Structure 1
Amino acid sequence: MTEKEPPTRSVSGRVILVLSTFDTKHRRQSLASISRRSNLPLTTVHRLVHELEEHSALVRGWDGDYEIGSKIWRLGILASVHTDLREVALPYMEDIYEQCNGAVQIAVLDGLRCLVVDRIAGSRTLAVLSKPGSRLPLHATGVGKVLLAFGTKDLQEAVLNSLDRFTEQTVVDPEKLSSQLQAIEAQGFARTNEELAEGATSLAVPLRGKGGRVIAALGVVLPSRTTDVSPMIPMMQVTAAALSKKLVETGLGVESRLRTN
């Protein structure tokens, strides 16, 4: 007996059902999980997920599971919450940009990656991989390491079990990365040097929301030839504290409102 699709559901309705299976507790799912949660036949889910993947609405991870893709983010950024976040953060990002002349970015946790919500980068900055909507590896970026260090144990365990190498400097030793995460949590900032791209170093600090919980990361990307980024750490931390306070005051300091799925 073959699987039959419910006759009353339109194609668009089934697509919404598939996408609606993703939430804060189901950021990554197998085809079987999507089928079970959407109550759609597995053959139907396989076809729809494949089409969504082709359009970057879903992306397939290293383990075969699926998560929300950049197309959904680009649509979601039209929502007022993302517009408000960018508007609130922009003056603080501009202040840092004027001081360091590097690319300044804000990122939030998005599954097993970090999502760049906004970025400032001009002709004075080096070419960087990140742009608004980019999903970057947590273990190879400054903003990613901050989010990972203050993330849950389950998140850390999942990332430590899937460390891809991007350059010779990428940390792919779980013990070494785990030690780094402990240091980042203790000192309140993260630094990377050519771990995602050659010629680029990064510095990042946490942004805190209601109750002091880390909800995002503020970072800069600079040329590796920059002699010493240490003097920037206090400036970044002071700016992050001021921005965190503003996010809470405007009602944006809630983790679920800053995430995209």
Structure 2
Amino acid sequence: MKDSLAREPQRPGPVLGRALQILGAFSANCPEMTLSELSRRSGLPVSTVHRMLGELIAWGALERGDKGYYRVGLRLWEVASLAPRGQGLRERALPFLEDLSQITRENVQLAVREGTEVVFVERIAGSGAVPVLTRVGGRFALTATGVGLVLLAHAPAEVQEQALAGSLERFTPSTVTDPRALRRMLAAARTNGYAVSDRQVTMDALSVAAPVRGSGGAVIAAVSLVVRHGSTSAHALARLVCTSARAISRSMITPQI
């Protein structure tokens, strides 16, 4: 009984819970908000939000701009940047991502899985490359992006079932939303060593991604190239992406001096 109680997740206390609600109200679409907007998006009374904003600003989690809008503070960004899955992975992968970017002059991305979503930990935009919807720190569906398909292909069975259950979001007419077709794509990703997302997120983009492995061979991340649809073949991109992914994988298991 004692062991089971020790493993039971602890819920945030009332004060911490309200602070997290306020911080969680911010998003890529709403990076700055007024007091009333924060109240509405967090679901907390204006008086509660107003009272807690002082403490959040004093600590550096939030800032208040000249026009009175509240935004995420630098100290919160500093703390978030210490997350080990992003920090260590990004530092070791960055030289290879930069090489891939210089060779191709296309969009290069590095991502990890959290639950049934992709979290992007690095993105290098190529000069004149096709615009993409992703950003560092942003999240996306596992079933649509190249990196997402790779990470889902190597995820535990229960994660795959959860990701493929229910209604899948359609981003373009080419987005694959049939679970049976997606299962075939995941099987192909495991067999081929890479995944292809063709116009699934935007109608002008083709993404090819490959897995990054850590110690023991477990897939810990995925790297991708995103190019303009029709500019080259997925097979040609796959060779470059897989080479970069293998190089990053070797760096992840090599002790740093």
Given the two structures, how large is their TM-score scaled by the length of structure 2? Answer: 0.70
CA contact (8 A) 1:73 1:133 kept: no
Residue 120 and residue 45 in structure 1: after superposition, are their counterparts in 2 closer, same or farther (change >3 A)? closer
Q: Distance in 1 between matches of 2:189 and 2:25?
A: 37
Query: What is the Cα deviation at residue 209 of structure 1?
Result: 0.3
Partner of 2:218: 213
Residue of 89, 95, 110 corresponding to 1:85:
89
Q: Distance in 2 between matches of 1:241 and 1:46?
A: 41
Paired residue type of 2:26: H
Partner of 1:37: 10
Q: Distance in 1 between matches of 2:251 and 2:200?
A: 32
Unaligned runs of 5+ in 2: 1-6, 28-71
After alignment, is 74-83 or 143-152 more displaced? 74-83
Partner of 2:158: 154
CA contact (8 A) 1:140 1:195 kept: yes
Given the two structures, how large is their TM-score scaled by the length of structure 1? Answer: 0.69
Match status 1:55 vs 2:35: no
Partner of 1:233: 238
Paired residue type of 1:102: E
Aligned residue runs from structure 1 range 139-150, under 5 A: 139-150=143-154
Query: What is the Cα deviation at residue 238 of structure 1?
Result: 2.0
Residue 152 and residue 75 in structure 1: after superposition, are their counterparts in 2 closer, same or farther (change >3 A)? farther
Paired residue type of 2:135: K
Identity between Structure 1 and Structure 2 (%): 35
Aligned residue runs from structure 1 range 90-105, under 5 A: 90-105=94-109
Instruction: Give the structure with higher Rg (CA).
Output: 2
Q: Distance in 1 between matches of 2:17 and 2:95?
A: 45
Residue 227 and residue 235 in structure 1: after superposition, are their counterparts in 2 closer, same or farther (change >3 A)? closer
Q: Distance in 2 between matches of 1:155 and 1:212?
A: 19
Residue 88 and residue 40 in structure 1: after superposition, are their counterparts in 2 closer, same or farther (change >3 A)? closer
Partner of 1:60: none
Paired residue type of 1:37: Q
Query: What is the Cα deviation at residue 111 of structure 1?
Result: 1.8
Query: What is the Cα deviation at residue 198 of structure 1?
Result: 1.7
Residue 178 and residue 75 in structure 1: after superposition, are their counterparts in 2 closer, same or farther (change >3 A)? farther
Q: Distance in 2 between matches of 1:79 and 1:39?
A: 21
Tell me the matched-pair count: 203
Partner of 1:203: 208
Task: Give a deviation string over 1:144-183, Cα, whole Å, max 9, x none.
Answer: 0000000011111111014111110111101110111111
Q: Distance in 1 between matches of 2:12 and 2:110?
A: 37
Query: What is the Cα deviation at residue 48 of structure 1?
Result: 5.6
Partner of 1:62: none
Task: Give a deviation string over 1:202-231, Cα, whole Å, max 9, x none.
Answer: 000000001000000010110012131312
Aligned residue runs from structure 1 range 129-208, under 5 A: 129-162=133-166, 163-208=168-213
Query: What is the Cα deviation at residue 37 of structure 1?
Result: 3.3
Query: What is the Cα deviation at residue 87 of structure 1?
Result: 2.5
Residue 76 and residue 203 in structure 1: after superposition, are their counterparts in 2 closer, same or farther (change >3 A)? farther
Q: CA RMSD in A?
A: 2.7
Larger relative contact order (C-alpha < 8 A, sep ≥ 6)? 1
Partner of 2:49: none
